A and B are shown apart, each in its own frame.
Chain A
Amino acid sequence: MTTRSKRIFAFGRCEVIIFSLAVALRLAFMLIMIGDIGSDHLIDKYPDPIKYVRAGDYIFGGDDAGKIDLYLVGPGYPMLLGLSKNLIGPVYWPVLLFQIILSGLTCVLIYRLSKLLLENEYISVGAGLWAALSLTSITLANAVASETLFVFLATLTLYLYFKSLMSVRWAPAVGAGIAGGLAVLTRSVFMFYPLMLFVFALLFPVINGIVTRKRMILNTIVCCLIIVLISIGWGLRNYRAHETFTISATGLLAAKTYLTAKVLVEGEQQKPERMVSIRDSIFQSALHDFKAGRFRDNRDESIDFIYSTFKRFPDLFIKQYLRIVMYNVTAVSSLQNVLVPSWKGLFEAIDNYVHRGYDNPAYFMLSLVGFMVLWRKNRRIAVILLLNVLYYAFLSGVTFGQGSRIFYPAAMTQTILIVAGIIFLFDLLRVLATQFLIGPRINTKSQTKS
């Protein structure tokens, strides 16, 4: 690295640039959004926010209507909304401001994570900037939705966890465990992540013998135990309240209403339009069960229903599941059209030009190119980065229709892979152009000096 590069990448400077850029972009979007739809309409533009608000109200002793919502979405994000409402009042912009800061910190964490794993400033700064510029991240930071809080907690978990694998101290592992536990309470998709942490502990390279493999596994056990203990706490609360040991019912309900409904429509040779009515009827019957207090029966019925559909159409079930996974990893978010409707024309014009609709495999392909590039740099780290992306890809296969939001948490490592791919392609074009079009560059400076 040259002296000039060292100055650019001086300690702390990159973090400040990435954070400032991320916060500035998100604040600008917030100002446009509030000017466009008004601060009163932040929660009624699409169905999800009202569920979180009702669940938050229920936690702080409000309306009983939020009981079902809390069971469905888990306590993490509703707790934040409820706390804000109790401290400041029924306005949502303070939560959005908090999310904007979290989103900016997530971009910095992605930069730090990349630096920790790859020790490459170009890729790390690129990843941080890419995360700061991501329209999905900008829009989600300005939406009453759990993704921003979840991605922050999940990225913090991963960063502290890898720190713990390089350290003989217990603090990073404990910190990762607490952040991971809170991430599970925010979105239950993180529930199976401890298994991934064990795989990472086996894959992560042993550096200079400071931390042994045995110590890495011990750190992982500590981290995973804390995650599991926090999750079990909420599971036990649900067991007391609803007689069912559930962290959050969304996953199972989504698998029943989306994946299974899609399999049934195709398996029973029904018209595709029937999908909506089947999905709605399944959802309504679930709501009916919840209102009657049959939480446990509903969970058991859901498992039976999914299993019986799988037994009826096993090939089709797997095919549809993989198809939904592919759909989710290539989907593009359209949340901006909801949040700033008067800018819809502009966003759609860009989307149609860049993405050909809301489906774009380019990012996923660039991630795979990035994986191949990093494979030659450090195989173990490349596999770890890809495994994290695949974890969210495969868990997203139970539901669809949310654009890239469902797959968005994968961004914490997918961004690093994408940027590695882009830097490689840029370098390749530059080198090929120098070699074949412009001719070899003669180092005239050094020749003159000599």
Chain B
Amino acid sequence: MSSGKENIFQYRLKTIITVMTAVIIAGLVMGFVWKNIDIGRMKNLDYRIHSQYILHRTESDPAALLTAVTEQLKKNKIFVIDRYQTSPTQWEILGHPGRIWLTSEFISKITVVDTVAIVEGGEQGPQRILVASLGSIETGSKEFVFLFFLAVAATLAVLVRKEAFPHIYGGNLKREDKRR
């Protein structure tokens, strides 16, 4: 480094910038892949095992219930990220508490299933019932943040000059060399 500044790295600045850029880009790609894996896991989660019943409606229009559930999610500050139909009788809504995956501890899925059943106490015989179930999984966002931090810190630990860190490497460098 010029103008009297001591270089804290053991390589040229151009090399440092290239390596750090590569680490950051690799980290961002990893984050994108991790997010997609989390969403994929959530989509494949079997609602019959991992979800809890939350409500049911004896409505004939699934769209009305889906809109009501979506509104309810928004009220509870859950950001809806996807809404799709998996079969003629099943719909799913995905959401997480943060605006983006990185700030969300979990992803939730509401599964709405259109069934025909006999309503207890009802006199009209079998009726259409829309049943909604809620399931959640933890995201890997926290682990990703720490891994990203680890990658950056570990890369810096390799790139710096030992002499610039006297609290760790100072004092006994000659002794260190003998200890092999």
Contacts and interface: CB of A to CB of B under 8 A. Distances in A.
Interface string B58-85: 0000000000000000000000000000
Contact of A365 (B4, B146, B162): B146
B167 A368 contact: no
B169 A377 contact: yes
Q: Is the interface of B mostly helix, strand, loop or mixed?
A: helix
Contacts of B150: 365, 368-369
A365 B157 contact: no
A435 to B, nearest CB: 6
Contacts of A205: 179-180
Interface in A354-409: 356-357, 359, 361-362, 364-365, 368-369, 372-373, 375-378, 380
A219 B51 CA distance: 58
Contacts of B175: 119
Interface in A54-108: none
Interface residues of B, number: 36
Contacts of B26: none
B157 A372 contact: yes
Interface stretch (A175-183, A279-287, A335-343, A418-426): A418-426
Contacts of B131: none
Nearest to A364: B146
Interface in B138-166: 142-143, 146-147, 149-150, 153-154, 156-158, 160, 162, 164-165
Nearest to A421: B153
Contacts of A440: 3-6
A269 B156 contact: no
Interface in A276-318: none
A272 interface: yes
B44 to A, nearest CB: 13
Nearest to B51: A271
B5 A373 contact: no
Interface string B5-23: 1101000000000000000
20 contacts: A119-B172, A206-B180, A207-B178, A269-B46, A359-B142, A361-B142, A361-B143, A365-B146, A368-B150, A368-B154, A372-B157, A372-B158, A377-B169, A424-B153, A425-B153, A427-B164, A427-B167, A432-B8, A435-B5, A440-B6
Interface of B: 1, 3-6, 8, 46, 49-50, 105, 142-143, 146-147, 149-150, 153-154, 156-158, 160, 162, 164-165, 167-172, 175-176, 178-180
Enumerate the 4 nearest inter-chain pairs by beta-carbon distance, A residue then B residue, closest first.
Answer: A205-B179, A372-B154, A372-B157, A365-B146
